[in-house]
Amino acid sequence: MHFETVAIVGRYQDDGLDAPLQRLAAMLRRAGCEVLIEAETGRNLDIRGHTLASYEEIGKRAKLAIIMGGDGTMLGAARMLATSNVPLIGINHGRLGFITDIPLDGTEDAVASLLNGQYEQDERCLLEGRVMRGDQEMFSELAVNDVIINRAGRGSMIELRVEFNGAFMHSQRADGLIIATPTGSTAYALSANGPILHPQVRAMVLVPVAPQTLSNRPIVLPDDGVLNITISALGRVESGASVHFDMQTLSNCQAGDRVDVRRSPHRVRFLHPTGYSYFSTLRSKLNWNRLPQPLDNVE
C-alpha cells in the first residue's frame, strides 16, 4: 500500500457527483485506506460514514488527494495543498479536463493501479503574486494557471508598464495581460493566442489581451525572474481594473497599483496512470488527431 490515507475533494455543485464519490470512497476503504472527505464536499453532498477534514488537516494527514470534478476544482485544491506537498490525481467530471485527466468511467481501475504504485509523477510550477499599493500589500495568492490583470466590467482599456528583473520591457494599452505558467498556457492564454508550453519548460509566458497595438505579442520569459506590472493609467475616471490569481480576484485596483509575480518555491505534484502522455492529452483536447480530408476527395 503506497497511500495509507487518501483524501477526496469533489465539485459539490455538480449534480450526480454524490454516487460516484461514494463508490470511490467505498473502493478505497476496501483497499485498506483511511478515507478523508474534504469538509465542504462532505457537507454539501451529505456524505456519511467518512471522516470530514479541512484542507489544513488533509495537508497534514493525507498521502494522496483525489480530485473529482473539473480543472477548476483541481486548481483550487492544488493551491490549498501546494505547501503540503500532497500528490494529486484528477477524475474528470467537468467539460475539458487538461489536468483532471482520468475519465469518470475509468476511476476504479486507475485508482487501483495508483494505489499499487503503478503511476507516473508530473511536477508543475506555481506562481506567487501580490498587489502593492505604495508600501501596502493589498492581496497575495498562489496561482497554478495564471495571474491576469484586466479591465473591470465594461471599462475601457488599461495601460500597463511591464518590468522584468528591474529592466523596463514595454508599456501597453490593452484589455488585459496574462502571466501564465506552462500548465496555464493551455487555458486563457491559449484563447488569447499564446503559445503552448510543455509542463517541464521552466518558463512563464506573457500574453496581451486585445492590445491596442497589434505589435504587442506574447513573449516567453525564464521563470527565475521577477515581473513587476504597474497599472499606470485607467481609461476613464470611472473605469477600474482587476487582478485574478486563478479564480481568486481583487477587483478594486487603482492606477498606480503594482502587481509583482514570481515563481513560487512550492510545486504541485500530479500523479497519472502508467502510460500517461501529455501529447495524447493535447491531441484529444485540441482535436489534433483529426486529419484534413485528402485532397483527391475534395471537389
Q: Which active-site residues does the annotation give?
A: 71
Handedness of CA 182, 184, 187, 188 (dihedral sign): negative
CB-CB contact of 48 with 18 (8 Å): no
What is the Rg, in whole angstroms, of the alpha carbon atoms belonging to the chain?
A: 21
Instruction: Look up residue 11 and give its DSSP letter.
Output: -
Grid coordinates 502593492 are at which residue? 132
Distance CA 53, CA 41 (A): 10
Q: How many CB atoms lie within 10 A of CB 83?
A: 13
Q: How many CB atoms lie within 10 A of CB 148?
A: 25
Distance CA 155, CA 163 (A): 24
Grid coordinates 486563478 are at which residue? 246
Please state whether beta strands 227-234 and 258-273 pair in parallel, antiparallel, or not at all (unpaired).
Answer: antiparallel
Distance CA 92, CA 69 (A): 5
